[in-house]
Amino acid sequence: MELDMKKDIDSKDTISEGTLHEILLDIKYRLDHLEDIEADNRALMVKLIKQSNSIVQFLAQIDIEPQDVGIEDIGFPPSKESKSYDPEKMKHIKELIDEFMDKRKDLQELEKELKKNKDMVTPGQVGES
């Protein structure tokens, strides 16, 4: 919206004191309105700067070491060609898993036997095996 504020003045045109006063008051009100808008903008900018500063301070408190992680390192076990692959360690882990699975099977068998002979078991009584 463009305002046409230019008025062609002929030598015959005269501006009365009342009209000049109204024009000046209108300009004053517009300037006051612009000052209010600018004050609101300034207050908003101060709030945004304070918020940004608090975010920067929070992020500065977080101590994270940057790490170079490639896509090949995510979710895959080390390959035999990898330097971190230790066959002894893998063998030991496999033995632990096998031992766990054997004990789990034994416990399942014991649980089945206990269910079968539940009526014969008396709590707190030790018998022969």
Q: How confident is the model at residue 119 (pLDDT cuts 50, 70, 90)?
A: confident
Model confidence band, residue 6 (pLDDT cutoffs 50, 70, 90):
low
83 or 20, higher pLDDT = 20
**How do the domains of the chain map onto residue ranges?**
17-62, 86-118
Q: How many CA atoms lie within 13 A of 51 on its CB side?
A: 6
Mean predicted lDDT score pLDDT of the chain:
79
pLDDT confidence of residue 98: 86
**Which DSSP category does 51 fall into?**
H
- Cβ atoms 89, 83 nearer than 8 A: no
| Token pair for 127 | 């018998």
What is each CA distance from 65 to 68, 69, 75, in whole angstroms? 10, 12, 20
Question: Mapped to the 3 state alphabet, what secondary structure does 93-113 carry?
Answer: HHHHHHHHHHHHHHHHHHHHH
CA distance 23 to 20: 5
What are the pLDDT digits (tens) for 57-108? 888 887 766 666 555 555 556 566 666 667 788 888 888 888 888 888 888 8
Report whether pLDDT(111) > 80: yes
